[in-house]
Amino acid sequence: MTNATLNGKRFKCPSCMEEMTVKQYVRIITEWNEGDPADRDYLKLLNILTDGAYPSYDHTIENDITLFDLVGWVITQPFEFKKERPKVLYLRDKLIDIPEPGELSIGQNIHLRRDYMDKSKTLEENIAIATAIYLQPIIENRKFHVKRAEELAKEIEQLPIHLIYPIGFFLLKRAQNFGTTSAKTWSRTKTNLRQTLRKMFLLWPKLAALLSSMT
């Protein structure tokens, strides 16, 4: 974290991706990361990174330089996340072992796709809830419950994005394909059935004639 002073007010601001929370990252990609970087609102970016500490400030040359020094890394540092997933996470005042993500249950997939992914503009904005849906039964040692997962997602939003991204994005990509295989299989089944019925229809006059000759 960088210690800084702006308008006479001292505060701390993330200085790299490793210090950014999930919530801050999602807000950047959904609320700020569009258009020409030269035309974006860097005060808004500062407010995202400091959770709303600066609704306004004096536009002096000194303040403008300080502002860009604080937040300029967001556009100069590439957002590249490691694929390796963390072994443990610190949640609810304790270290929690994180098993390798497997397949979500049918119910988990339906909630994730229907309630979140299908309603969102970007896939990544669902990273916290995807991780929570996966971890809630593991952490609480109880059946999956979407409301409890939503509460857990609020806690996960405050964790570092570089730890949660590899888990959440992996689960989101899996959920994207949920139901695809079944749909393709059903489509092939309908096609094969249609072809079979067409052949039977073409053969029917011959079969009818054959049966008539046998009676």
What pLDDT does residue 179 have? 65
φ, ψ of residue 171 in degrees (nearest 5): -70, -35
Q: Is the pLDDT of residue 80 over 70?
A: yes
Two structure tokens written together for 165 = 């991204």
What is the spatial distance between Cα 82 and Cα 85, in angstroms, rounded to a whole number?
8
DSSP codes of every residue in 5-43: EETTEEEEE--SGGG-BHHHHHHIIIIIS-S-GGGS-HH
Contact 134, 108 (CB under 8 A): yes
**pLDDT (tens digit per residue) in 164-186:** 999 999 999 989 887 654 444 44
What pLDDT does residue 28 have? 95
The amino acid that residue 15 corresponds to is: S
What pLDDT does residue 180 have? 56
Say how many C-beta atoms besides its own lie within 10 A of residue 137's C-beta. 16
DSSP 160: B
Task: Give all strands (DSSP E) within 141-210, no chain letters.
Answer: none
pTM of the model: 0.78
What pLDDT does residue 17 have? 92
Q: Chain-wide mean pLDDT for the chain?
A: 83
What pLDDT does residue 156 have? 97
What is the spatial distance between Cα 49 and Cα 59, in angstroms, rounded to a whole number?
19
3 state SS of 6: strand
Of the pLDDT bands very low, low, confident and very high (cuts 50, 70, 90), residue 210 is low
Two structure tokens written together for 47 = 């407010």
- Alpha-carbon distance values, 85 to 65, 162, 165, 204 (Å): 37, 9, 8, 61
Two structure tokens written together for 113 = 């796709």
What pLDDT does residue 185 have? 40
Of the pLDDT bands very low, low, confident and very high (cuts 50, 70, 90), residue 79 is confident
Q: Is the pLDDT of residue 57 over 50?
A: yes
Domain boundary assignment for the chain: 2-76, 88-176
What pLDDT does residue 52 have? 82
What pLDDT does residue 100 have? 81
What is the spatial distance between Cα 45 and Cα 39, in angstroms, rounded to a whole number?
12
What pLDDT does residue 44 have? 92
Mean pLDDT of 183-198: 49
Cα atoms found within 13 Å of the Cα of residue 165, Cβ hemisphere only: 19
Say how many C-beta atoms besides its own lie within 10 A of residue 71's C-beta. 25
Q: Which residue shows structure tokens 């979140």?
A: 116
Query: CB neighbours of 191 closer than 8 A, spacing ≥ 6?
Result: none
